Amino acid sequence: MPHLCVMNTVSQNQLTSVCVYCGSSFGSDPAHEAAATRLGQIIAEAGLRLVYGGGSVGLMGTVANAALESGGTVTGIIPRFLEKREVMLETLEDLVITEDMHERKHLMFQKSDAFIALPGGIGTLEEAVEMMTWAQLGQHKKPVALANINGFWSPLLELLNHMRAQGYIRPDTEVPYLVAKKVEDILPMLRASITGRVPEETDAVAEVSDF
């Protein structure tokens, strides 16, 4: 695995780019696709760059196309072996093809100031948890937000609470993450986390975390 470049600051406390992890399929809940569409629009309307996995299918394609259609800038990063499986979005002006998953994830980390996990499968889970782990280990201070659409991530939150109860996540080794029920709440939370300011009241929750 490539050496992790430690990043203790976020673009001089500015939010300029956001990485979105999400499924390469649509899942069974129509609210997930709607959330992906809205999130892509919100990121573009805020003048932020979307960094994502480079595919054109499922929620991945939905969030990217929504951002593009709203005039946003998008960076896609996809490993060569997934070009066909995830149907690489070839119309992107900024499309990076990597040799493997490790390089893909490392570049997504480097190019992003914050991370958002929409619903997805085990790959989405792995990517989000890896960013949470790196933050727990002090390797970065970039905020990680879980878009808990219709309670999608609630089982993960329950598992994390179980780990705390069993003594595997201790106060001195907390896992920093944010949770939002609505995508509209995510960017204010990320900005508040980066700047240290208290956001206006929303449905979002800072489950753990002082970044």
Token duo for residue 126: 């792995």
Residue 157, domain extent: 17-208
Model confidence, pTM? 0.88
Tally of domains in the chain? 1
Is 41 domain-assigned? yes
- Maximum Cα interatomic distance, the chain, rounded to a whole number of Å: 48
Identify whether the C-beta of residue 161 lies closer than 8 Å to the C-beta of residue 167: no
Residue 3 lies in a domain: no
Residue 104 lies in a domain: yes
Residue 133 lies in a domain: yes
Per-residue pLDDT tens digits of the chain, which is 211 residues long: 333 334 444 555 789 999 999 999 999 999 999 999 999 999 999 999 999 999 999 999 999 999 999 999 999 999 998 877 777 788 888 999 999 999 999 999 999 999 999 999 999 999 999 999 999 999 999 999 999 999 999 999 999 999 999 999 999 989 999 999 999 999 999 999 998 864 444 444 555 443 3
Alpha-helical segments (H) within the chain: 30-45, 58-69, 101-110, 122-136, 154-165, 186-195
5 part of a folded domain: no
Which backbone phi and psi does 202 adopt, to 5 degrees?
Answer: -140, -175
Distance CA 200, CA 202 (A): 6
- Looking up tokens 């990597």 gives 98
Q: For residue 1, is it within any domain? A: no
Could you tell me if residue 10 is inside a domain?
no
**Residue 119 domain flag:** yes
Q: Are 17 and 48 in contact (CB under 8 A)?
A: yes
Domain holding 87: CATH number?
3.40.50.450
